Each structure stands twice: as structure tokens, then as C-alpha cells.
A and B are shown apart, each in its own frame.
Chain A
Amino acid sequence: MKGYGQPHTYPGRLIIVEGIDGSGKSTQLQLLQRWLVSQGHTVFFTEWNSSKLVKETTKLGKKNRTLTPLTFSLLHATDFADRLFYNMIPPLKAGMIVLADRYVYTAFARDVARGCDPGWVRKLYDFAIRPDLAFYFKVPVDVSLGRILSGRAKIKYYEAGMDLNLSADPVESFSKFQSRILEEYDRVVEEFKLTVIDATAEIDEQQEVVREVVTRALATYQPRWKHGQAEVPGGGDPVSGAGIPEPQGQADRH
């Protein structure tokens, strides 16, 4: 576990959020980003399964429903490796704050819930770095399900774990699959000491707690640039207040 087991030595800070679909983690991260930017920090945002490299392939596999737990897991690891190299390490080396919507713990929870070997998945991500702060937004399945169903009409095939044949009914399958993921998350929280936030609380209450924890975690952080307008030596665009990407559907990042 050399990778994420040890703290990194980059001048920047890596803050990540975890939680099941509909836990509200993306909303919380977006609010955190707004606040950090308003404080004059230069912030980079990256999210699970978003690299150009594998996007089309993941889409294709999902469309054809040919993805197995193993290929699903490996594709996500490929996406992660690509983003780590291009979107996370350069800004961290440049001393900026990187916010990641989902991190390796998503794989530890979700791939294992799909049947991958826990030891294998952890080794797979051995090249990852340990975040400075990892939030876990804890929420019961029925709450997350309610949030998702109120936002859009249908649950997606893989999100519901339909590939596992848990149930022919998408809602029931979602429930069962997400419950399994929750169990795995509980293990991950214990193992990697994630900071647990009660995600059933009001949005602004949660955000207050998040900002408090972040403030403490940033106590030793020395920003190289203030007010976001740093000359970035390659490797992405600094996010200014106006350019904050809206979260694209809370549960879209499968």
C-alpha cells in the first residue's frame, strides 16, 4: 500500500468526496469550491470517469452492456491513472488545491460490491496518492433513491447494478446494489479513516461542517497564488469564480 498509504509531499492539497449516488456529495463539493475560490484559492476540479481517453469506450460498453465487473473496474482504473497524471499531480506540484469528485475509494466500494477481489482492487490503485482530506457523505439507500428519482425519471442500467441480476426491477436492483456498496463503504471508511458527514442533514448545515474541517486541514497550507489568477505552468485551466463546472447529474459518473 505504498501509494495512497503515505502522505504526498507536493505543496498543493488534495480534497476528495465519496458517497453513493444521490448522497449529495457533488453539491457539497461544488459549494466548497465556490467558497475556496472566494477565499482567493486556485482550485482544480476533477471527477470520476471523465477522462477523454476512456470516455467513449465506457459509453460504448455501457450501451452494448458488454462490461463485466472486471473490465468495468479496469476501465475506471485507466481513467483514474490518466486523470491523476494530467489533472491532479501537475496542479498539486504547482501548489494548488485539487478537488476530486470520487476517488479510489469508489472503486474499493463499488468494484468489490460487483464481486471484484478487495485485495486486487486495492493493489490495482497502488499508484494513487493519498488525499489530504477525504469526506464520506453517509446516507441511507432510501434517501438517495428518493433524491435520484425526484431528479430524473429513470435509473440507469449500471447504476442500478442491473448487470448483477439482483432483480428485474430497476428500483429494487438499485436498492440492493447500493446497499452492498454502502456496506463496502463502511469498511473503507474504517480502513482509510475517511471523514464521515451526515448526508441526511440540511445542505447548508453539511457545508458548514465541511468548511470547518477544510479550514483545519488547510492550516499548514501555504498557497503560492492568491485570487486564482496564477500563471499556470501547463496542465489545465485554473478555475475562476465564473467558470465553475456545474455537477452533471449527481449520479452520472458511473
Chain B
Amino acid sequence: MGRTTQIERLRNWLEVQGHGVVETGWTRSELMSSLIELAKEGNTLTRDTFSLLYATDFAERLENQVIPALRSGFIVLSDRYVYTAFARHAARGGGPEWIRGVFGFAIVPDTVLYLRTDLESLLPRVIGSKGMDYWESGMDLHLGEDLYDSFCVYQQRIIAEYEAMAKEYKFEVVDTVRRSMEEIQQDLRERIEPVVRRPRKVDVSLLDPKALDAKVER
């Protein structure tokens, strides 16, 4: 869906407006990223341990990156959030109650932007970039004869979970099917704009002109 590129452009757009921006992304915590990679290489992960690894990574980033950044007035752009864990847990047959309880410590985002896609659009994108991956295809679930079949069934399940959550949690749904990167970016900005808008706090006319000069000279 081009999430990464879209976020990169959003960051640039926000910084141009003078906002401080901090990015965080799924499984990117210092503590957990290598462990999660390692665990994925073996075939020993069960649904619940998988979800708990995600929760640990998330907690680490929440406490060490997200909350401190919010406290300092930054805008935090998070590439995936708790909903990813909810969708994957449910797609593996787990009940909603436990996993939501586990992530009960998470804070509610100001906006959840859901880049909606369908399987048809997803297929060429995944095959054309890094290829199908064991876990992203739900191979642990034995859903189909090969990677391709499994991928289709698994991703359909994931999409269905996201669609259900979009209603439940009132996601901002941004359609990506047959739309250009540019159109999607415009759509995203329109939805973010009201959330980050703030009144001008500094009255420039009250500043001592000499102070301004001094700053410029340095």
C-alpha cells in the first residue's frame, strides 16, 4: 500500500509547517526487533507468544519513544498500531477479548488512518517488491497448498478484520485502490490537517527587533 512512502511524505509536509515529528514503527524497538526477526526464522512461535512479542515491542516503544515525544509536543507518526496485532491474532483464530486486554495499556490515537486495499491490488504489490513471506502468508495456519494460496486466504482474513475494526474504532478510511500515490497523499493530509491545526502562539510583532537581528546574525 506504500505506507512507508506515504509516511515519509507526511513527515516532510508536517516539518515544513514547523511541527516536530517522531516516527515509530511495528517491531522497531531496540529491545525486541532482533528477537522478533530471530523468532520468525524458527518455526516455534505460537499465536499467543507471537502476540506477546508484539505487545512487548509495542510497550517498549510506547514508553521510550511515543509518550516522551508526545509530552514534548511532537507529532508521532506510527507505522501500524495495536490494530495490527488485533487483526493478526484474530486471523489466527484468537478471541478478541484477551488480545485487547493485553494491549489495554496503549493510548488511543488522535487519528487512525486506514489505507484500505483489496487482495487484487495487494498481490502484484507484494510479489513485485519483496515477495511473499512465510508469516505474512499465514503459512503457520496451513490454509492452502502453497505460499500463494495461503497468502490469499490469510490476507482476506486480515482485510476482513480491518474492515470490522474500521467500523468499530471509527478509522479514517483512505481508499488506495486504483489511486495514485499523490491522490492518496492529498487525502491523508486533508484528514490530518484538522488534528494538527493549532492557533499561532507567538505574536511576532511583540518581539524586540534587536533580538530577532541577533538571532539571524548567529
- Nearest-CB residue, chain B, relative to A78: B52
- The verdict on B39 contacting chain A, using a C-beta distance below 8 Å, is yes
In chain A, what residue has the closest Cβ to B62? Answer: A70
Q: Could you tell me the distance in whole angstroms from the C-beta of B61 to the nearest C-beta in chain A?
A: 10
- The digit string for B79-120, where 1 denotes a CB below 8 A from any CB of A, is 000000000000000000010011011000000000000000
Take A56-B35, A57-B32, A78-B49 as given contacts and tell me if A71 and B59 are in contact as well, using a CB distance cutoff of 8 Å: yes
Known: A77-B52, A78-B49, A126-B98. A120 touches B105 (CB 8 A): yes
Interface residues of B (CB under 8 A from A): 30-32, 35, 39, 44, 46, 48-49, 52-53, 55-56, 59-60, 63-64, 98, 101-102, 104-105
A126→B59 contact, CB < 8 A: no
Task: Find residues 31-73 in chain A having any chain B CB closer than 8 Å to their own CB.
Answer: 53-54, 56-57, 60-61, 66-68, 70-71
B46 lies within 8 A of A74 (CB): no
Determine the distance from Cα of A127 to Cα of B101 in the docked complex, in whole angstroms: 12
Q: Which residues from chain A contact B39 at a C-beta distance below 8 Å?
A: 53
Q: What residues on A are CB-neighbors of B102 within 8 Å?
A: 74, 123-124
- Chain B binding surface SS class: helix
Q: How many residues of A contact B (CB 8 A)?
A: 24
Chain A residues in the interface with B (C-beta under 8 A): 53-54, 56-57, 60-61, 66-68, 70-71, 74-75, 77-78, 81-82, 85-86, 120, 123-124, 126-127
Q: With A120-B101, A123-B98 in contact, do A68 and B49 touch (Cβ < 8 Å)?
A: no
Point out the residue from B32, B48, B63 that lies within 8 Å of A81, measured CB to CB: B48
Partner of A120, one of B31, B64, B104: B104
Q: Do A82 and B49 touch across chains, with their CB atoms under 8 A apart?
A: yes
